[in-house]
Amino acid sequence: MADPVGASGPPRRAPLHRGRALIFLTVGSQVPFDRLSRSVDAWAARHPQTEVFGQIGRTAWRPAAMRWAEVMEAGEYLDLLKQAKVIVAHAGMGTVISAAEHGKPLIVMPRRADLGEHRNDHQEFTAKWLMTRPGISVVHDENELHAALDKADTLVPPDGLNSESCQRMVAVLREFIFDGVRPFQ
């Protein structure tokens, strides 16, 4: 793939340098999150030696320092995810699962409903739980984000997925689907 970037948005700068440390920002496919995107772009401006790429959503704001796309197809997203050294994201479960599956350290900033970033505060709850997991740093503002990015080299990858719990779920669902067995009465 010569161009890992989605079809949306204006022309971009040269393609990413393969093999260089990449910070990959993703705010999910549904709603932009400019507070986070701007914070990452501000960090990118001060660290020109680091590759930073952001999937910033459909928003009027345009990054000055990092490469970006509005929305990417799933294949392009996966390509950048695999290349990334650290993922920066909203507290969305898609990203959390992707990061865990690919063993990528994750920095998350939960969206806040009071700033109009989400319909409700469920990301705050998600973040409180995420904080208890290794490999995931939770930040709440630009200062905390920059501090976490400055320490990106020391971040450890998260635990793999808890396959035991998932396998149990699959087994119960199979019994219900194929044998009509209800786990509860």
Partner 1 sequence: MDNGSKRPRILAVASGGGHWMQLMRLRDALRGGDMAFVATHFSDYRQSIPPGARFYLVTDANKKDWLRGILLICELVRIILRERPDVVISTGAAPGYFALRLGKLLGARTIWIDSIANVGRMSLSGRLVRRYADLWLTQWEHLARPDGPHYIGAVL
Residues in contact with partner 1 by CB under 8 A are: 28-30, 73-75, 91-98, 100, 119, 121-123, 125-126, 128-129, 161-162, 165-170, 172-174, 176-178, 180, 182-184
Instruction: State the minimum distance, in angstroms, from the CB of residue 14 to partner 1.
Output: 25
Nearer to partner 1, 147 or 173 (CB): 173
Q: How many of the other CB atoms lie within 10 Å of CB of 156?
A: 10
Q: What is the C-alpha to C-alpha distance for residues 179 and 47, in angstroms, rounded to an integer?
A: 57
Instruction: State the minimum distance, in angstroms, from the CB of residue 115 to partner 1.
Output: 18
106 strand-pairing partners = 87, 136
Instruction: State the minimum distance, in angstroms, from the CB of residue 182 to partner 1.
Output: 7
**Six token digits for residue 77:** 């997203």
Nearer to partner 1, 12 or 128 (CB): 128
Nearer to partner 1, 73 or 141 (CB): 73
Sign of CA dihedral 11, 14, 17, 20: negative
26 strand-pairing partners = 55, 89
What's the order of all strands across the beta sheet hosting 51-55? Answer: 67-69, 51-55, 22-26, 86-90, 106-109, 136-138
Nearer to partner 1, 154 or 163 (CB): 163
Instruction: State the minimum distance, in angstroms, from the CB of residue 12 to partner 1.
Output: 21
